[in-house]
Structure 1
Amino acid sequence: MKRERRIKIIATLGPASATEEMCAKLFEAGVDVFRINMSHTQRETLHDKVAMLRGLEAKFRRPVGILADLQGPKLRVGSFGGDGGAMLEKGARFILDSDPAPGDVNRVYLPHPEILSALEPGHHLILDDGKLRLIVEQATPEQAVTKVLIGGRLSSRKGVSLPDTVIPVSALTEKDRSDAEVAAEVGVDWIALSFVQRPEDMAELRKIVRGRALALAKIEKPQAVARMEEIIDASDAIMVARGDLGVEMPLEKVPGTQKRLTRMARLKGKPVVVATQMLESMITSPVPTRAEVSDVATAVFEGADAVMLSAESAAGQYPVEAVTMMNRIAEEVENDAVYRSILDSQRNEPEATGADAIAKASHEIAETLNLKAICAWTSSGSTAFRIARERPNSTVIALTPNRATARRLTLVWGVHAIVTKDASDADDMAFRACKFAVREHYAKIGDRVIVVAGVPFGTPGATNMVRIAFVAQEHVAKA
């Protein structure tokens, strides 16, 4: 299945997309990677979901990416007495403490001693997804006395966000550790960690996964934004998770933060996903708003690797229509006259390595000769990652003997992955690259393609050769 766009589409599984039949429709409509939200998935059912999605690979003869999204720590207030809530008035004093007794209009239990220990005067607390805002006036390990800046009704077990406070605990809960182990065991391709604060959080996830999947950092806290470069370095990819990010920082700062994160990830050669409320109105409407279309288009213009649907595909009334619309927007933007100039203006200099030099050379050759495909032989996928970093105007056909590598590359901009046995020699390398370019409809007789590989063959990280190959009649016959 040949996609007519470079950016990838991620769709979240849920009640609206729980069957193999619906997933097949979504894949045909344009989904490249399916997201499994572990907040709503039992470990016992994860294997069945993965098996269902792997069935699509056999049906469509294409790799299908699977992203398991860990829940992360959910910080919540305790319970209230009476009718289960209290009305907090603007300007009033309100206490969060270590007393498990039911709360009232003056106080409530905060069942997170690590938060009480970390709070300091001047720190803000955001409650119930931004509906209420408090500021700390006095803090001890037993209680925090706050002033209500934005009032409203606070109910039992509502969420707490801490934009100013670095919590001295891992972003991985015990549930997350168990979920990550099971996800890696059943063979998901990417594992996303929620509420990352520091690079050490990603190091802990990598230690659990042990190379069985790639690690993606969800950037949704100001603390992560402040250390974005370190976190990107510690991750295989990042996600700009604008939902919680928009709760913990002023909304007007989110667009600029999204651009900075996207450009930093591109500079580092790490995939970047833009997520949350991209086509939110399509949960209940068959068409999106103009603003949503522009939002998706902005991510495409910026050169993001992927855009993601959440509730639109998980619980919405129009999941296939949402994917189809996202696909149409991406195709239109990538054919726009200014799209290429925007990408080229952000082109980064290669790192001082042989592999990066080869990646840049392949891009420049393909651009000079107006070639449609760059065929990269890759075992680990790193060659395809490096070429994709260049954002070439040619499709990157990744030829790999490793099915796991092909699945991981479904998230990467402009990469069309094919599973095949490794090349035996230079002639076989060029011949089969041409054959696959023809078979996948990226080249025809008389065209030329770029072939990138490493010698000796089958050696990970040995990218050291670039070659121009001509497509002949024999390649068409073998395709």
Structure 2
Amino acid sequence: MIKTYNKTKIIATVGPACSDYEVLLELIKEGVNVFRLNFSHGKHEEHLETINNVRKINRAYKLNVGILADLQGPKIRIGEVENDAVYLEENKIIEVVSKKQISTEDRIYVSYENLAKDVKPGERLLIDDGKIIIEVTETNRVDLVLAKVIYGGVITANKGVNMPETTISVPSLTPKDLVDLDFALKHKANWIALSFVRKASDVQEVKQKADNPNAVKVIAKIEKPEAIKNIDEIIDAADGIMVARGDLGVEVPIDRMPMIQKDIVKKCIQKNKPVIIATQIMDSMINNPMPTRAEVSDVANAIIDGADALMLSGETSVGKYPVKVIRTMVSIMKQVELEPAIYNKQLTADENSPTFLSDAVCFNACMISESLGGKAIIGHTRSGYTAFMLSSYRPKAKIFIFTDNEALLNILSLCWGVQAFYYDKFVSTDGTISDVIQILKNASLVKKDDVIINTGSMPLEAQGRTNMLKVTKVD
């Protein structure tokens, strides 16, 4: 039913262009692994319909397509504007207030209560992705800021405001986020993406609200300069990372973006955490049937760097060609994944880690597979840890994960190279190995004489950490 299995995964945002059951099914057939619900848009009823449709497809076709719930976060915006548009004149001094009102050419409302308290003279506010820039000249630290227009132009209602030089005091979880998070947890979303993360405690707050860490995982979206400063602790705290290049590209100097992206991907691979690249992946295909050459190169470079997944936003949610976008992405992935350079990251286990022994088994399984020309590496897990470890090495062999944790099947749909299967017959080590190989053989995923690297835990009934490695040749 699925036309191809790429090692790099595709996340597609759901919106008016693809919310129908038939279109969702077509996108899955073309290669979508995870659907993103963007809680900046849409009602809960619409999101629930998407969740139900994806689960209906999963049941009907025995698939494990995941659901990612993306919380809006404390997005700062201007409000309504006079006559639908006002012109801010360059070098003019204007007032900026946090009390809700209609914005004019002399006074702009910004939806951030602590604006006057947090900003300092000399700090810049960027409106509409940096198209308009104003600089703070004075603040009364209560309710009024004076600012000089550095780059002027026309502003329209509800445009975003970025404050890259200001340490903002607003929490990462807004009241709206808490309602949306409860909805996502109630309806068993597989991944929760937290916007505008600044520090590890932001992630830990969300994790505390999720009862079962084996049933839902948390992604930290990197969009703020503070997050770059705290990136190591954020990666440690989160289950996965998203390089959200939209707001991040406004908040940091744009010439730093390529190396920031590469550095975060490298750190995530080293720490065995899935990493997603997002924003303007195939932006031109919102309106055009073909991507630009630059977009093709951007996608290829993200794959070469080792991203677990690439996320499409407007391309699938509101674009004219949602199915063609996925088909184009898959064709690029298939071509790039022929290149040896993307495989075998040569990771080593940290001797000081409490999971050193199981990490060493996983990494050595990948190295043995490489040296023997192994066709598949098999892992067994309940928490997903073994899958994350094997995936992070980026082996050329296929990764097949077996688990009795049903929620994990859809969670792993986001991880590089992983295909997951439900299995709950753990009786003996040899019996289980023989059984799962037969399952893969019946599905035509392995064939006679293929070399398989098996990993697992002994004794089986203890369900402990991975401590066993066995090489098998398929009969």
Match of 2:123 in 1: 123
Task: Tell me how far apart the structure 1 counterparts of residues 445 and 98 of structure 2 sit (CA, whole Å).
Answer: 63
The separation in 1 between residues aligned to 2:269 and 2:65, in whole angstroms, is: 23
Decide whether aligned partners of structure 1 residues 412 and 93 sit closer, same or farther in structure 2, where only a CA change above 3 A counts: same
2-side partners of 1:461 and 1:93: how far apart? 65
1:259-291 per-residue CA deviation (whole Å, 9 max, x = no partner) reads 111111111110000111111111122211111
**Aligned partners of 1:261 and 1:238: how far apart in 2?**
8
**Corresponding residue of 1:349:** 348
| Counterpart in the other structure of 2:179 | 178
Instruction: State the match for 2:230 in structure 1.
Output: 227
User: What is aligned with 1:35?
Assistant: 36
**Length-normalised TM-score, structure 1:** 0.93
Counterpart of 1:380 in structure 2 is 383
Q: Does 1:258 align with 2:257?
A: no
Residues 222 and 248, structure 1, Cα contact 8 Å, conserved in 2: yes
Relative to 1, partners in 2 of residues 1:58 and 1:126: Cα closer, same or farther, differing over 3 Å?
Answer: same
Q: How far apart in 1 are the matches of 2:42 and 2:79?
A: 24
Stretch moving more, 16-25 or 139-148: 139-148
Read off the aligned partner of 2:17 and give its amino acid letter: A
Aligned to 2:218: 215
Cα drift, residue 59 of structure 1: 2.3
2:97 aligns with 97
| Residue 165 of structure 1: aligned partner | 166
User: 1:225-275, CA deviations, whole angstroms, 9 ceiling, x for partnerless residues?
Assistant: 221111111110011111111222222221111111111111111000011
Aligned to 2:88: 88
Structure 2 matches for 1:67-466, cutoff 5 A?
A: 67-81=68-82, 83-100=83-100, 102-139=102-139, 140-210=141-211, 211=213, 212-336=215-339, 340-344=340-344, 346-352=345-351, 353-457=356-460, 459-466=462-469
Alpha-carbon contact 2:3-2:31 (below 8 Å) kept: no
Structure 1 contact 302–343 (Cα < 8 Å) conserved: no
Alpha-carbon separation, structure 2, partners of 1:443 and 1:362: 17
Q: Match of 1:276, as an amino acid?
A: T
Describe the shift of the 1:214–1:307 C-alpha distance in structure 2 as closer, same or farther (beyond 3 A).
Answer: same
State the shift of 1:32 in Å: 0.7
The one-letter amino acid of 1:316's match is: G
Percent same amino acid among aligned pairs?
37
Aligned pair in 2 of structure 1 residues 77, 267: CA closer, same or farther (>3 Å)? same
- Point out the more displaced range, 7-16 or 46-55: 46-55
Instruction: Render the CA deviation track for 1:396-427: whole Å, top value 9, x for unaligned.
Output: 10011111111100000011111121421011
- CA distance in 1 between partners of 2:372 and 2:100 (Å): 71
* 8 Å contact kept, 1:372–1:442: no
Contact 1:4 1:331 in 2 (8 A): no
Structure 1 residues not aligned, in runs of 5+: 473-479
Deviation at 1:200, TM superposition (A): 1.5
> What is the deviation of 1:98?
4.4
Is the 8 Å Cα contact of residues 4 and 30 (structure 2) preserved in structure 1?
no
In structure 1, what residue type is equivalent to 2:86? A
Query: Contact 1:379 / 1:459 at 8 angstroms: preserved in 2?
Result: no
**Deviation of the 1:77 alpha carbon:** 2.6
- Quick one: structure 1 residues 19 and 354, their matched pair in 2 at CA, closer, same or farther if it must change by over 3 Å? same
Distance 1:174 1:329, change over 3 A: same
Kept in 2, the 8 Å contact 1:400–1:421? The answer is yes
CA contact (8 A) 2:342 2:394 kept: no
Q: Out of 97-106 and 129-138, give the one that drifted further.
A: 97-106
**1:50-65 correspondence to structure 2 within 5 Å:** 50-65=51-66
Task: Flag the 1:58–1:101 CA change in 2: closer, same or farther, 3 A.
Answer: closer
Instruction: Supply the distance in 2 between the matched residues of 1:76 and 1:308 (Cα, whole angstroms).
Output: 24
The TM-score, its normalising length taken from structure 2, stands at 0.94
Report how far residue 377 of structure 1 moved.
Answer: 1.1
Query: Secondary structure of 2:150's match?
Result: strand
- RMSD (Å) for aligned C-alpha atoms: 1.8
| Higher deviation after alignment, 155-164 or 176-185 | 155-164
Q: Contact (CA 8 Å) 1:195, 1:219: kept in 2 or not?
A: yes
Instruction: Verify the 8 A CA contact 1:382 1:461 in the aligned structure 2.
Output: no
Partner deviation per Cα, 1:80-105 (whole Å, 9 max, x = no partner): 44x24432222221221345554433
**CA distance in structure 2 between the partners assigned to 1:54 and 1:232 by the alignment:** 30
Shifted more, 182-191 versus 106-115: the winner is 106-115
**1-structure distance, mates of 2:360, 2:268:** 19
Q: Aligned with 1:176: secondary structure?
A: helix
Q: Which amino acid aligns with 1:468?
A: V
User: Is 2:455–2:469's contact at 8 Å kept on the other side of the alignment?
Assistant: yes
CA distance in 2, matches of 1:260, 1:162: 23
Question: How many corresponding residue pairs?
Answer: 467
